[in-house]
Amino acid sequence: MADGTSTANRWTGAPPNGWDVLKRNRVAMVSLWFLVFVALSAIVIPFFLPDALKTTSDASFSPPMSESADKQHVHYLGTDVNGQDLFYRLLMGAQVSMGVGLVAALVSLLIGGVYGMVSGYAGGRVDGGMMRLVDILNSVPSLLFVMIFISAFDGHFKDALDGMRLYGQEKHWQWLEKFGANLIPYSRIMILVIALSFIQWLTMARIVRGQVLVLKELAFVTAARTMGQSGWAILWKHLWPNLSTIVLTYLTLTIPAVIRDESFLSFLGLGIDDPAASWGSLLKDGAQVINPLDSKWWLLAFPAGLMSACLLALNFLGDGLRDAFDPKSND
Amino acid sequence: MLAFILRRFFSSLVVLYFVVSLTFLLTTAQKGGPFEKEKMTATAKAEKERKYELDGPKWWQLARYQKRLLLERDMNVSIRYGDLTVAEILAQKLPNSLTLGACAFLIAAIGGVAFGFIAALRRDSWVDVSAMFFALGAISIPTFITGPLMIAVLGLWLGWLPIGGFGTWQQLMLPSICLGLPFLAYVARLTRNSLLDVMSQNYMRTAKAKGLDDSTALLRHALKVAILPVVTYLGPMAAYVLTGSFVVESVFNISGVGMVFVNGIQNQDPFLLCGAVIVYSALLVFFNFAVDVTYTFLDKRIKLHG
């Protein structure tokens, strides 16, 4: 190779690794570090904030950098209508929004990945039927259904959790009772996650299927089959590792989609409600108080800024990943 | 062709039927039912349930609703809006939503193709890079951020455009730009990428070799092929525009179907909700269908099989 005989126009190197391509993409790397920074701040900083800032107070609508009512602390980003510190609310909102995005994307990956792999690997009539179902589901206005789904099952879900708590109480299983009691305030978020992951798996299924259709014709799959491995083993051991980068790419693109949908619902008042906060519900509060007479700009500007920056970063990162690992796709 | 249209038509009807039935089941499955919030005695509640045909087992409620819908073409009445019929409410609100949606759709489709065309023409120049950077921003940032910001800046601060009301073109401008912007960006990206793909084809080289300049070659030969992915996207886009109008309607205080839908959910109003879902799903199914048909006219190489 490096003997000097190779001419300049003959390419002798190894094909570029996707990770190297990604590392050269400066925008994507900046986005990645920014997201890590935001996620870490959202998890760590609330532990160090004084408790007085975390509750409601009389100082409603105080502008940024103003002192709190007892002159002990500073509201860096101002307060909202209930006198809650916006900085703290914003971080909690980031926890909820990013958490919902990540979990729903992972669940959609689980469903879509398995569905796509089975469909692609089975091929023929099974594949046709399964993809037909995806087409039909795709032609249903999914967000409308999420709204109806949440409102239909929210009450029942809460009841089920409460039932679990009571069952634990009855049987003197303290852990179950505690578990149920701890989950009840989060029931709305959980049902939101379930609903959102159920609509997001369609794209994933399609992409995984397409990839499996290509991969299953390759020699190593035939070899595995002749050696007597079962279909499931081939899927899990041989196809899945080859799918992981493309799956990671679309996972990164699913997260902002979920975050956007969640905020959309919360903005309309159908998603996360008080006292929990997400970027969408914060924006709803912010949008309600813009008026020409007395501008409370910080309630809108800071959540909008942070959310836009995070969504942009996620999309840049996803685009970078796609350029690196799925160069043929362009959309 | 006719067979295809008929087949697609019937499968659409089947989809619509299931969507509506599922919506009905889900909304009536809510805990306590539609009459839970009102304080009333058990007999009064039973009386109301009988009046609205919401008594008895679930399948029987559904069967009666379906019979009413299919045979009498009656969407029943809204429980919360003082017994106005669903058809009346929708007929009153639908024009607003459709006007808004059509404006946003036109802005997105025309503007998107134009921007994508310019970006492809000036490939890798600062125009292209900044346009695509801007496009990714517009795609990532949802309308409930851009909407209030546009109101705050363009409406309140600069005072250029009215922020409320509905009817005149000035009043229509902010909401439709706000609604159309992300789709414009997406169409622009799609157009640019697919134009760049087509430009590397041999027949484009031939066209240029014959002496056509870049823009004529793109306009005459490339755009016709490159527009196909855009056309495919227009169907779903119409649907997304309709769903997106929920937020825009709530931000700009426009009384359209989106608000009816949101209120219907919050008030547990099953018939009204089903009516809104029928309208939305029917429009969506229709747009997807229209795109498939348009496709065959644009590209004779594509054979349809439904």
- For the stretch A226-256, pLDDT in tens is 888 888 888 888 888 888 888 888 888 899 9
What's the distance, Cα to Cα, between the start and end of chain A in Å?
Answer: 38
- B283, closest residue in chain A (CA to CA): A141
Q: Which domains does chain A have, with CATH numbers?
A: 17-49+85-329 (1.10.3720.10)
Q: What is the mean pLDDT of residues B253-278?
A: 84
Instruction: State the pLDDT at residue B54.
Output: 73
Indicate if the pLDDT at residue A50 is higher than 80.
Answer: no
- Where helices occur in A123-239 by DSSP H, the ranges are 124-138, 142-171, 174-183, 187-215, 219-226, 231-233
Q: How many angstroms away from the CA of B234 is the closest CA of chain A?
A: 13
Collapsed DSSP state (helix, strand, coil) of residue A211: helix
Count the Cβ atoms, other than its own, within 10 Å of residue A241: 9
Tens-place pLDDT, residues B202-251: 888 888 888 888 888 888 888 888 888 888 888 778 877 877 788 888 88
CA-based nearest residue in chain A for residue B134: A312
H or E element at residue B288: helix B270-298
Disruptive mutation site among A133, A139, A293 for chain B (greatest number of B CBs within 10 Å):
A139
Name beta bridge partners: A66. A75
User: In this structure, how many other beta carbons lie within 10 angstroms of the beta carbon of residue A196?
Assistant: 29
For residue A233, the distance in angstroms to the closest alpha carbon of chain B comes to 35
What confidence category does residue A327 fall into, taking pLDDT thresholds of 50, 70 and 90? low
DSSP conformation letters of B160-205: -S--S-SSSHHHHHHHHHHHHHHHHHHHHHHHHHHHHHHHTSHHHH
Hey, what amino acid is at B249? E
Give the chain B residue nearest A141 (alpha carbons): B281
**pLDDT band at residue A72 under the 50/70/90 scheme:** low
Q: Using one digit for the tens of pLDDT, what is the confidence trace for A267-326? A: 888 878 777 788 888 888 888 777 666 677 778 888 888 999 999 999 889 888 888 887
Q: Which fold does the domain B93-271 belong to in CATH?
A: MetI-like fold (1.10.3720)
For the whole prediction, is pTM greater than 0.80?
Answer: yes
Q: What is the DSSP letter of A49?
A: S
Distance CA A152, CA A150 (A): 5
Residue B306, pLDDT score = 39
Residue ranges of domains in chain B: 93-271
Q: pLDDT tens digits, residue range B17-42?
A: 888 888 888 888 776 666 766 667 77
CA A31-A37-A40 angle, 5° bins: 140
pLDDT digits (tens, 9 = 90+) for B33-74: 667 666 677 777 777 777 777 777 778 778 888 887 777 777
Cα within 13 Å of Cα(A326), Cβ side: 22
pLDDT band at B301 (very low <50, low <70, confident <90, very high): low
Confidence band for A106, pLDDT divided at 50, 70 and 90: very high
The shortest CB-CB distance from A152 to any of B29, B197, B250 is to B29
Q: How much is the average pLDDT of B188-210?
A: 86
pLDDT at B206: 87
Q: A156 in contact with B at a CB cutoff of 8 Å? A: yes
Give me the pLDDT at residue A40, please.
92
Chain A CB contacts of B253 under 8 Å are none
Which of B140, B250, B284 is facing A256, going by the closest CB pair?
B140
Amino acid, single-letter form, for residue B127: V
Write the DSSP symbol of residue A185. G
| Closest residue to A152, CB basis, from B27, B139, B246 | B27
Contact of B192 with B132, CB cutoff 8 Å: yes
**At B302, which amino acid appears?**
I
For B132-177, how does the pLDDT look when each residue is reduced to its tens digit (9 = 90+)?
Answer: 888 888 888 888 888 888 888 887 777 777 776 677 777 788 889 8
Packing angle of the helix pair A240-267, B143-150 (nearest 10 deg): 40
Q: Which residues of A touch B120 (CB under 8 A)?
A: none
Residue A92 vs residues A44, A54, A95, A278, B177: alpha-carbon distances, Å:
11, 10, 5, 7, 32
Using CB atoms, which residue from B30, B136, B189 is nearest to A152? Answer: B30
Token duo for residue A16: 């570029």
State yes or no: cis peptide before A275, omega within 30 of 0. yes
